[in-house]
């Protein structure tokens, strides 16, 4: 992070703007909203600065800039189109350790202006650190359309009840949960539609109800986080990850996805060793239950979909036994995600009328699958956890009737920038995979749909990952 974002209180603080053209006028207007005392120093005063509202706390001085002008200032902005003056301003401010922004000169700035969505008291600022102001503005436009204009009213509403709620609900986690339900539920909708009285009434009722029942119980969100690309999270997964107090995650959940969780959430890694499955699973089940019983909202985040080779069923069974509330959020399973990003449709009118998901996990050195059924033509087989058993899988399929030149693909780290796709035949693949040093996680796709990869491949991973 090259720039530290912060919000600065400037009411009655002296700020200096050097220059008085159109750009200076825009900066003065924004600064003016904070109630800052603004001095403007410029030799020519442009019409837009001259026309600025008289309500602003403005002191316009028509003169040449000199270093002494920065003395005592909290913030300095240089908005002239004269490089020499801009450099003088920047040097004078930097010498006194005063934050300085020189418009359109990132190299002379100690701070940059973000693009702002103003729903005061709610303010949202976005920045690319000056690299692409246009991109920051596009982000702003998206936020503008996503945040109702009445959010400012909602923030003021929340401010009014802050103290009463704090007094009524002393537990910080419970209080956060209460506010989340207020700010994202029917009460917020009442505020948005201007029915402030009704919103206040309803909040008082809910506050009362909150105190009379045992609200210490937490809940568990069993969340499928997809195969790796954070963009493939569902809205619900994202929302619940941002509400959870604790994130319990395993090996397949990427750093990019964890970054989406609430910043101050506790994060617990429960990645499993291949050989220690059952033991680890029991303690995970217990951990989830115990956290929820302690009143936490727990996001149990899993790669792909929780109900596809994800042991999600076992985890919620324990929760059900203990009467703990939970919900399950489906995710994009690796089979679907990797196939899409590899340009291999899992079904196709000319190639495959069905698709079977199987696990290639070795148990006591063997893979227990219905090979006869899997060797039938016109279908696609998607094999999870199959890398270790790859040689055995290819041999078994050939033995049960698949042609030796039947197409097979391996997708490593599918949907991420490190994705690698290796294609071959049942006969060649075991050696090819060894030569290419294929590493987990990998998904195997068997069937003539694999031939479409060459034509339909669209996703470009980083150059270092390509085969």
Q: Does 334 bind ligand SAH (CB under 6 A)?
A: yes
Name which position in 219, 245, 305, 315 contacts ligand SAH (CB under 6 A). Answer: 305
Q: Is 272 a catalytic residue?
A: yes
Stretch that binds ligand SAH, among 36-44, 63-71, 299-307, 390-398 (CB under 6 A): 299-307
CA distance 387 to 410: 9
Half-sphere exposure of 231 (CA within 13 A, CB side): 5
What does the block give as tokens for 400? Answer: 């049960």
What is the separation of C-alpha 177 from the centre of its chain, rounded to a whole number of angstroms? 20
Q: Does 85 bind ligand SAH (CB under 6 A)?
A: no
Which whole-number Å values give the CA distances from 298 to 16, 240, 251, 290, 318, in the listed order?
49, 9, 17, 10, 14
Instruction: Compare residues 349 and 363 and give the one whose CB is closer to ligand SAH.
Output: 363
CA distance 57 to 67: 22
* φ, ψ (nearest 5 deg) of residue 260: -80, -15
Stretch that binds ligand SAH, among 2-10, 140-148, 237-245, 412-420 (CB under 6 A): 412-420
CA distance 31 to 95: 23
Q: Does 225 bind ligand SAH (CB under 6 A)?
A: no
Q: Does 413 bind ligand SAH (CB under 6 A)?
A: yes
Span between the terminal Cα atoms of the chain, in Å: 32
CA distance 411 to 453: 11
Least distance from ligand SAH to the Cβ atom of residue 254, Å:
8
Q: Which of 114, 141, 116, 117 is nearest to 128 (CA)?
A: 114
Name which position in 130, 228, 330, 407 contacts ligand SAH (CB under 6 A). Answer: 228
Name which position in 21, 218, 230, 304 contacts ligand SAH (CB under 6 A). Answer: 304
Number of Cβ within 10 Å of residue 388's Cβ equals 15
Site size toward ligand SAH (CB under 6 A) is: 23
Name which position in 49, 158, 338, 397 contacts ligand SAH (CB under 6 A). Answer: 338
Name which position in 303, 330, 389, 407 contacts ligand SAH (CB under 6 A). Answer: 303
Radius of gyration of the chain (CA): 30
Site string for ligand SAH, 343-382 (x = CB under 6 A): ----------------------------------------
Restricted to residues 241-260, the positions that interact with ligand SAH (CB under 6 A) are 252
Name which position in 65, 157, 178, 309 contacts ligand SAH (CB under 6 A). Answer: 309
Q: Which residues contact 97 (CB under 8 A, 6 or more apart)?
A: none
Name which position in 310, 330, 407, 424 contacts ligand SAH (CB under 6 A). Answer: 310
Q: Provide the binding-site residues for ligand SAH, judged by CB under 6 A.
A: 227-228, 252, 302-305, 308-310, 333-334, 338, 384-385, 411, 413-415, 440-443
């Amino acid at each position: 992070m090259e720039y530290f974002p912060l919000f600065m209180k400037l009411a009655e603080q002296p700020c200096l703007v050097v220059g008085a053209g159109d750009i200076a006028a825009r900066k003065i207007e924004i600064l003016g909203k904070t109630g800052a005392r603004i001095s403007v120093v410029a030799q020519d005063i442009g019409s837009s600065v001259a026309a600025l509202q008289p309500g602003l706390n403005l002191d316009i001085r028509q003169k040449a800039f000199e270093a002494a002008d920065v003395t005592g200032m909290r913030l300095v902005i240089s908005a002239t189109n004269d490089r020499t003056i801009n450099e003088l301003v920047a040097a004078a401010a930097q010498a006194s350790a005063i934050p300085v922004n020189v418009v359109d000169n990132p190299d002379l700035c100690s701070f940059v202006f973000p693009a702002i969505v103003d729903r005061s008291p709610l303010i949202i600022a976005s920045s690319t650190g000056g690299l692409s102001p246009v991109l920051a503005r596009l982000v702003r436009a998206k936020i503008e359309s996503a945040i109702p204009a009445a959010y400012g009213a909602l923030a003021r509403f929340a401010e009014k009840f802050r103290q009463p709620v704090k007094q009524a609900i002393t537990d910080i986690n419970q209080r956060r949960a209460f506010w989340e339900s207020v700010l994202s539920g029917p009460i917020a909708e009442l505020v948005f539609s201007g029915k402030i009285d009704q919103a206040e009434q309803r909040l008082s009722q809910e506050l009362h109800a909150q105190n009379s029942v045992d609200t210490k119980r937490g809940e568990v969100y069993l969340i499928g986080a997809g195969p790796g690309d954070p963009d493939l999270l569902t809205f619900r997964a994202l929302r619940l990850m941002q509400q959870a107090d604790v994130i319990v995650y395993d090996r397949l959940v990427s750093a990019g996805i964890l970054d989406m969780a609430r910043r101050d959430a506790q994060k617990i890694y429960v990645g499993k060793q291949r050989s220690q499955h059952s033991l680890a699973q029991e303690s995970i089940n217990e951990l989830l239950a115990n956290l929820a019983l302690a009143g936490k909202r727990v996001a149990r985040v899993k790669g792909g979909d929780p109900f596809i080779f994800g042991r999600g069923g076992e985890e919620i069974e324990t929760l059900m036994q203990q009467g703990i509330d939970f919900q399950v959020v489906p995710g994009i399973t690796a089979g679907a995600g990797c196939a899409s990003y590899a340009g291999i449709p899992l079904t196709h009118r000319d190639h495959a009328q069905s698709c079977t998901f199987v696990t290639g996990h070795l148990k006591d050195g063997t893979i227990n699958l219905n090979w006869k059924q899997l060797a039938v033509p016109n279908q696609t087989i998607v094999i999870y956890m199959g890398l270790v058993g790859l040689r055995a899988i290819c041999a078994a399929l050939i033995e049960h009737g698949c042609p030796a030149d039947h197409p097979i693909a391996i997708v490593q780290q599918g949907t991420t920038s490190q994705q690698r796709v290796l294609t071959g035949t049942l006969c060649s693949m075991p050696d090819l995979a060894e030569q290419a040093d294929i590493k987990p996680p990998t998904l195997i796709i068997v069937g003539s749909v694999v031939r479409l990869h060459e034509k339909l491949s669209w996703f470009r991973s980083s150059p270092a990952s390509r085969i």
